[in-house]
Structures are given as C-alpha cells and as structure tokens.
C-alpha cells in the first residue's frame, strides 16, 4: 500500500507493516489521496503529519437567488453586485 506513498520517518525505524497501517489510517480518517506522511518517533509516541492532495472543486456562487459557476453571462448590475461583496479566504494548509 505504501509503494506510491512516501513515509518519512525520523527519530527511529518502523516496519513496512506499520507504515501500511499509518497509510490505511489516513485513508480511513480523511478519505482523500495522500502526497506523503511525516512520522516523528519519540520513544513510545509518534507525531503524525499527513500531507493530503488538494481536492479540485468548482466554485458555485449564489447571486440574486441564482446558483452560477462563472460570471461570463452576468449583466453589469450582477457583475457590480459580485465585485462589491466581501471576499473571505480559506486556509487549507493546516488541514
């Protein structure tokens, strides 16, 4: 299972079976594809950091009661309404 997933281990060594268990746990917990995993061993404790692949998505906006994907068919009034909205950013690095 880990043949395509890089598992970086620092502070000790673990078996391939243990690596497979951490990969399986990530798939079970997040249900997403992995880029790689960082494991930091400290005695009996393990710090785990999963690096997940980004999920592609299409933005859907609700403008004056309509759900739209792009603004290319908007008239000037709807474009003005959209440009005056407050934009919020999402921090997905901490996931």
Higher pLDDT, 27 or 93: 27
**Minimum mean pLDDT range among 15-19, 22-26, 75-79, 85-89:** 85-89
Q: Residue 42: its pLDDT value, please? A: 93
Yes or no: say if 22 and 50 are a contact pair by the CB < 8 Å rule: no
How do the domains of the chain map onto residue ranges?
A: 6-52, 57-85
Mean pLDDT of 33-45: 92
Beta bridge partners of 10: 40
The predicted model scores a pTM of 0.56
Cα distances from 19 to residues 1, 36, 62, in angstroms, run: 9, 11, 44
93 has pLDDT over 70: no
Q: Residue 64: its pLDDT value, please? A: 63
Model confidence band, residue 95 (pLDDT cutoffs 50, 70, 90): low
């Amino acid at each position: 299972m880990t043949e395509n997933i890089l598992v970086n281990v620092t502070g000790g060594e673990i078996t391939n079976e243990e690596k497979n268990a951490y990969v399986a746990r990530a798939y079970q917990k997040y249900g997403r594809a992995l880029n790689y995993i960082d494991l930091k061993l400290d005695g009996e404790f393990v710090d785990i950091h999963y690096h997940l692949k980004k999920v592609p998505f299409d933005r859907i906006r609700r403008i004056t009661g309509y759900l739209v994907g792009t603004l290319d068919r908007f008239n000037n009034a709807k474009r003005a309404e959209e440009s005056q909205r407050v934009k919020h950013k999402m921090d997905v690095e901490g996931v």
